[in-house]
Amino acid sequence: MMSSRERPGRPRPDRTPRAASAQEVHALTERRVERRIREAKLPERKLFADFDFDFQTGVDKRQIMDLASLDFARRKQGVIIAGTSGAGKSHIAKALLLIGCQKTFRARYVTATEMLRSSWRALPITPLPTSSNASSPGNPAD
């Protein structure tokens, strides 16, 4: 029951200022992490705890767990994850991105297809030579 001194949205009088401050810091951190996840355009949250390393025999668990330390991000290096269909590339990428957001890195989830489309859109459009203008000045076509 709420006492007459308590008001909604304010810490209870029995809480110390330090405890209220710790709660506020935790809430602020959680909001920051959630914002980074939204900004990263992460389509779904994946965890390494849910990855079946026993089934995916071609995936080196030690190497993936080393990536999970995010040392590559601290060194400002990127990671490209390649493999066959169904190898777990997307799961690994999503789990790494989630860890990065939790450690307050800024990140963006992009598939290879999206990256290629973006690259192609950035290229200047130039007309292809036709047979009438294919000759070079030093090598006439006639």
pLDDT digits (tens, 9 = 90+) for 10-39: 555 555 555 668 888 888 888 998 999 999
- Count of alpha carbons within 13 angstroms of residue 83, beta-carbon side: 15
Average pLDDT over residues 54-64: 90
Contact 76, 103 (CB under 8 A): no
